[in-house]
Amino acid sequence: MNGAYSAIRVTERVYWVGARDWAVRNFHGYETDRGTTYNAYLVMGDKPILIDTVKAQFFPEMMARITSVTDPGNIRYIISNHAEMDHSGALPQTIAAVKPEAVYASALGVKALSEHFHLKEEIRAVRNGEKLCLGNQEFSFLETRMLHWPDSMVSYLSGDGILFSQDGFGMHLCSTELYADELPKDILYHEASKYFANILMPYSGLVKKLVSDLPNLGLHISMLAPDHGPVWRRLEDISYIIGLWGNWSLQKPSRKAVIFYDTMWGSTASMASAISEGLIEGGCSVKLMPLQSCHRSSVAAELLEAGALLAGSPTINNGIFPSVADVMTYLKGLKPQNKVGTSFGSYGWGGEAAGQLSEFLKCMNLEQAGEPLKVKYVPDQTALRLCRELGSKIALALQKKCSP
């Protein structure tokens, strides 16, 4: 086994035995420009327990970290909080290597893991709210369905007050620092909000319920241990990240507008710039995002705390420019709420793109402020003035939407 890797002690009996992925830059369409971690945890006792595993190719690294603490064959139980492959990919290899007494997952986790890997080994289902003594360790299990897969659950180690929260309260961030309090707050905020926007936004109602229910569950959380990103160990930091999730789940509109667009010959870009001037004059903050330099997941992240979404596209082959269509399809799946929206674009002869974007906005249930704005060929001063007026109109709509 590779002697380069060691476990990191988290508490007297809990160790981090995960893996760092410095190289990953695309996570099913989400740009992970700071990489990620696959966090797995080893709980030592008379019968050692492994909480989650890692992406399949990182199995040797995880096993090496476990070996630095104990013989992997000593592991008697495995808890699988989430069946997605970045956390369960190494599970079949792990089962074969350690031959545990049992593998525990939610009822839907049992189904998902069986269908993923066609496992012959028995995976046992734990019920929502069930308490289970595994050796001399007591765990409680809470289903968190659709946060963000149907099988998702969290596990609470009562003696240590650790909530192993799978994808909950995590982020895609690879670093040599294990704990959130060792990292700059602005980076934590940026990556946490990006993670929420791109993964949890469609399930905001369920997040809201989870955050409101947590204080009533009788869990004395002294540490939040997610499956991605840093561990939250200080009470003020735990309150901070739970509070952020609670606030984001409300999707409150603000006087911030996100304008994303692509352009063929600069005309749609000129329209976007003029619209932004009207928004700024109307007291809004603006994030102008040309898709030649902005990724879809960055657009989603900026939109999380915004109140307006403006999409611009030239018309190509009687349709939306490909990069704009890509982002609109992506955002439609994320289901942003409480936003004002509109569309715009330049065209040569057909001019269908702006109207098609408007249909996207209708499907997303965004409140539209006026008709799509189309400009033929290169916008002149009159057209640019109309663009600026559209920005002012959106600013006024935002002011009303954000008023108490």
Tell me the catalytic residues.
28, 82, 84, 86, 148, 167, 195, 228
Q: Measured between alpha carbons, how far is 207 from 218 in angstroms, rounded to an integer?
A: 18
Q: For residue 159, count CB atoms less than 10 angstroms from its CB and return exposed for 0-12, middle for 13-18, buried for 19 or more.
A: middle
Question: How far lies 350's CA from each of 15, 353, 356, in Å?
Answer: 62, 9, 12
Q: Dump the DSSP string for 304-319.
A: TT-SEEEEE--EETTE
Those residues whose C-beta lies under 8 Å from the C-beta of residue 192, and which sit 6 or more positions away, are 169, 171, 229, 241, 244
In three-state secondary structure terms, 246 is: helix
Contact 389, 278 (CB under 8 A): yes
Check residue 262 and report its DSSP letter. Answer: -
Phi, psi of 173 (to 5 degrees): -155, 115
Do residues 399 and 278 lie in contact, with contact meaning Cβ atoms separated by under 8 Å? no
| Contact of 279 with 394, CB cutoff 8 Å | yes
Nearest to 155 by CA among 199, 98, 111, 221: 221
User: Which amino acid makes up residue 364?
Assistant: M
